[in-house]
Every structure is written in structure tokens, then in C-alpha cells.
Structure 1
Amino acid sequence: MKKILFFLFIAVGIGFFFFNKKGKVIKNVAKSYVLPPNYINKEGMTISERIKVPEGYSRASYPEGSFSKYIQDYVLKPFDAKVINYDGNPYVYQSGHVGVLEVPVPSNGLQQCADALIRLRAEYLWDTNRKDDIGFNFTSGHYCSWKKYSEGYRPKINGSKVSFHRTASRDTSKQNFYKYLNLIYTYAGTQSLYDELPKITNKANVEVGDMLIYPGSPGHVIMVVDKITALDGDILFIFAQGNTPAQSVHILKNLSDNSISPWYDIEMNQYLEIPTYYFNKTQFIRFK
């Protein structure tokens, strides 16, 4: 009798699962059993090694020494690495990333979304012996260069008025470079990046290292860290972000489309949803 009741329960359960109250087959049930493609190589230790290319696409190739190549080859932490806040604690949400970049998070809490991408650009220029090109605008529009900072010039800020005065000794050390970046983090952000940098208005022209931005206070910005193109011209992107509170820079999953995640298929000036945030329209800027 127990066996009969057990099988009767199973039969009723299956019938309830596949049919609604009117007896019609519930749509899309089969889809839940179809696993999405896996484009993750857990052993990959750079961005381009971690993310696989879907069939029919080819990865964008860039010259050695370019910023785009620098980003594609950026070193990652092991696959199971968590996103860590500036205070050393894991971020409350750990389900939106497939990789964490080897970018230290300062304990001062300043390295937030725009700041993290500013750091990537500044360190690229430092590592490629282009130190004199390191410089960013404050939100006020005033340009603050590493060259002048290293020579001892410091800003005097009075509201929206900024002037620079030599008040410190010359110091070109890496330690002083990070003090300079802390200054930039304090007075720059999404609005200053948007106001300062050139805009990319054509999807085909968006390259690795470009940034999708919503300027404001608060605003948000994420970076293209990989790009692939199909023979028919279709283009997909991978994005990475820092965040607020200041935390590990991480590669984003595409929670809206598991069939291509972590790749994103975007349209210019259209809505885009990413883990923990959404953009009302996609607009891109590029570091000079």
C-alpha cells in the first residue's frame, strides 16, 4: 500500500508540474532543463583566458603596448575569489561576477567605481613609461597632472575655484603616485570623466578600454574588457566594474541573458541591466 501511494504521489506531482489548472502544457518547461553554454575557463588567469569565445566569433586583437591589450591581459585572482570591500569584508552580493582583477582596494574607501577605472588607466601609463601623460580633470574642470604633483604642486580648493601651488618637495616615487591617485579619487568622478573625455557613438567603434557611463552624483561607469565580432558583424562585449562601496574590480555576469553570459549584446542609447545596477541608455567614453 505504501508503494502504491508513493507512485500515486509521484504521478500527481508530475501532472501538476507539467499542466496548469486548465490541463494545458506549461510553456517553457523544457527550457529549464537546457543548460546554457559555459563560456568560462575556470583555470584562466587573465581576462582573455578566463572568458571563452562563442562559436562563430573572433576576439578583438590589439597591438602590444596598447591600453586595450593591457586590459585583455590583465591578471585575475583564482576563479573562486570573492569581491572584497575596502574594509576587508566580502561584499554582500557574490553572485554577479566571474572574475576578480588583481587590483588592490585601499582601506581608505576612496577607490569607487570611476576611481577604479582611473587607476587602471593611470597604472597602464605608469607601466608603459608614459608617466607624463598621467592626468585627470577634477569635477570643477581643472586639470591635475601627476607630473606637477610629483614636482610638489598641490591644489588649493575654494568652492569651484582651484589653484595650484608648490608646497611640497619633489617626489616621483610609486608611494607618492598613489597619494596623487587618492587626490584624484576625491575630486574626480563619473561627471568629470564624461565632461572631459571623447564620446564613442558607434557600437562598431567601441573598443576594449572604453567605458559605458552614466554621469552624475551618484553615477556609475563600467569598462569594456573584451570584445568579439562575428562574420555577420554582430559584436559582443565583456564588462568589468568597481563599485560603491569601494571594492574589488570584477568581471560581470550577464544575468539578463544566460545563453551568452558573461558576454553582453548591447544597442547604443538603449537600456542595459547589469548585476546591482541598470543604465537607462548606453553611452561610451574613451580615455585620451
Structure 2
Amino acid sequence: MKRYLLPLILIVALVLVVTNTSKGKMVTNHVKGIVKDVVTKPNYINSKGDSISSRVSIPEGYKRTEYRSGSFQEYLRHYPLKPYGSKIINYDDSEYFAQHWREAILEVPVPSNGLQQCADALMRIRSEYLWEQNRKDEIGFNFTSGHYCSWRKYAQGYRPKINGNKVTFHKTASPNGSKANFYKYLNLIYTYAGTLSMHNELQKVLVKDIRIGDMLVKPGSPGHIEIIVDEIINDQGDKMYLLAQGNTPAQNVCLLKNFEDTTISPWYRFDENQPVYTPSYYFEKAQFIRFK
């Protein structure tokens, strides 16, 4: 009896399809629609966008938070991007192995000396913003030893003399406020500052208070750090954010996908003291710091 069961089912199905063509078409289309809804995820990427705000669209019900014109937040939100599909390139012109991590590449040059790693790239972005805003006297960072090294003193010709954890500054060079000398200063910062010094120096921020420009950090040697580059909010006050990172080896700064919640990727949500999974790093808790 069993050997006749399958042919019988097929015959009945065929009769139903033939006698109810229009209904069959509706059923078929409905099934296809269900399948499409299941497998299709929202796409928030505009391949023609040339900045963070124009490349990444926002989910329904959200809007971008407002910041004043000229602020660091607006500077990051409108940061220029390389053309869609650009790859993550290391300092030595080789391709990084994990191209699938990135949603976009920021227009942050990568020096060939290999110094500009994760924390360094973010210090560069902050310093270039202050430079463009004619706030050069605010450019400065602590070394891991805790000693403050400012661009203003470096431009005046002062250089550090480092002996273990002891640092003293001496005027050993001619004054030079050029942009080329500014990048020499940044190379010095890259050498003696990092995630640990930034964590120790900068203000800690609770998740409920974070904003664009705040940085998700795990201090250490090595540690890791990523920066919020956009922020959106809905009518209930729920917020989501975009993250960008430099990395080791020194490479392009990229906008990160969200592999943990692909339904909102590349947007992220954070909860106080809860872990954060990003493509390149697992943060044991959502710990943020803020530039001065």
C-alpha cells in the first residue's frame, strides 16, 4: 500500500493545481512572499553615499540626533568615505585578511611607518579636527607614563627625553608650526600613547550618556578601541550607533558591520556593563571614554 501513497498524493496535488489555476498562482505567490520576507534583511547601505551620513540610512521610526554645526559630532557624522567596495589596506599596501568586517572605509591616510594603529588613528582624527577648527592649543595627549605631551610645546621645539618611566622635556629643536611637523608630532604620540593611556587620561562615560565621538575601549597592551561615528534615536528614546575602528597592523579606518544583530547592521545597541561583540574584538563590557 505504501508504494502507491506517494503517486496518489502527487495526482491529487496536480488536480488541485489544474482546477484552481488562479488560486494556485495566489498560493504560489504568497509562499514566495513569505520566503522572501524571511531571507531578506534590511539594507541600510547606499552605495553612492560618499560620507558616513549619506552612506548609511536609518531604520524606520528613527532620526539622527542633532548636534551643533562645527562640532566634533557633526565632523564625524559627515566624515568622507572612499568609494563603495574599497578594501581595507595595511600600511605596507597589502590587503587585510578580513575584508568582510567593513561596511565602508574612512578617508584617513595610513602612513607607511606602521605606527598608526587602533588608538593612534582615533587620536589623529581628533587632532585633525582640532587643527581644522583652529584649536591647535588643545591638541595634546598623555604618554602611557602619564606625562602630557602637547602639540603647542612640540611646535615650540620641546622634545621628550625618556628614561624608563621618567620623561622630561627640553628645547632641542627650532620652532616649527607646519603641518608636516604636526604629523611628526603625531608619530611621537603613536609611539608613547595608546589604549591604556587614553583610558587612564580621559573621562569615563555611562552608556546612557554616550554620544558621537565617544570611544568603546578595552585598555591594555594590547587593548582595543573603537569610536562612535553616528547616532540615531526613536520616539521612545531608544538609541543606536555606528562604530569605526583603526586596527593592528596599521590600516585603513573602517566602519564596522554588526554580526551579532544583522537585522540592524551596521547599527549597534549598547547596554550598561554588558559585553559588546564587534567583528574584530570582544569587549567584556560596554566601557566608554570621551576626548577632552
- Normalised to the residue count of structure 2, the TM-score between the two structures is 0.87
- Separation (CA, whole Å) in 1 of partners of 2:280 and 2:217: 15
Partner of residue 123, structure 1? 128
Does the CA contact (< 8 Å) of 1:268 and 1:281 recur in 2? yes
Aligned equivalent of 1:254, options 235, 253, 258: 258
Comparing 29-38 with 104-113, greater Cα deviation is found at 29-38
- Separation (CA, whole Å) in 2 of partners of 1:284 and 1:143: 21
- Separation (CA, whole Å) in 1 of partners of 2:62 and 2:283: 26
Aligned equivalent of 2:217, options 213, 216, 226: 213
Corresponding position: 1:282 with 2:276? no
CA RMSD of aligned residues (A): 1.6
Partner of residue 164, structure 2? 159
Aligned equivalent of 1:45, options 41, 46, 50: 50
* Residue identity matched to 1:91: Y
| SS of corresponding position for 1:254 | coil
Partner of residue 191, structure 2? 186
Corresponding position: 1:113 with 2:118? yes
| SS of corresponding position for 1:105 | coil
- Separation (CA, whole Å) in 1 of partners of 2:195 and 2:261: 27
- Separation (CA, whole Å) in 1 of partners of 2:36 and 2:141: 49
* Residue identity matched to 1:140: S
Aligned equivalent of 2:148, options 143, 146, 149: 143
Q: More helix by proportion, 1 or 2?
A: 2
Distance apart, 1:204 and its partner CA: 3.0
- Separation (CA, whole Å) in 1 of partners of 2:120 and 2:249: 11
| SS of corresponding position for 1:95 | helix
Structure 1 segments of 4 or more deviating over 6 A? none
Comparing 61-70 with 30-39, greater Cα deviation is found at 30-39
- Separation (CA, whole Å) in 2 of partners of 1:117 and 1:249: 9
Runs of 5+ in structure 1 lacking a partner? 1-7, 12-28
- Separation (CA, whole Å) in 1 of partners of 2:209 and 2:48: 31
Larger Rg: 2
- Normalised to the residue count of structure 1, the TM-score between the two structures is 0.88
Partner of residue 77, structure 1? 82
Q: 1:32 to 1:88 in 2, by over 3 A?
A: farther
Deviation sequence 1:152-208 (CA, Å, 0-9, x none): 00000000000000000011010000000000000000000000000101x231110
- Separation (CA, whole Å) in 2 of partners of 1:269 and 1:245: 28
State percent identity of aligned pairs: 60
Aligned residues: 261
